Amino acid sequence: MVVGLVQGVGFRYFVVQRAHALGIHGYVRNDSNGDVEVVAQGTRSALEQLLALLRQGPSAAQVQDVQATWRQPTEHVSGFHTRW
Q: At what angle do helices 11-22 and 44-56 cross, to 10 degrees?
A: 160
Active-site annotation holder among 12, 29, 55, 83 = 12
Query: For residue 32, is it left (φ>0), alpha (ψ between -120 and 50) or beta?
Result: alpha
Per the DSSP assignment, residues forming a β-bridge with 80 are 26
Among the listed residues 29, 30, 55, 83, the single catalytic one is 30
Would residue 12 show up in a list of annotated catalytic residues for this protein? Answer: yes
Active-site residue flag, 30: yes
Active site residues: 12, 30
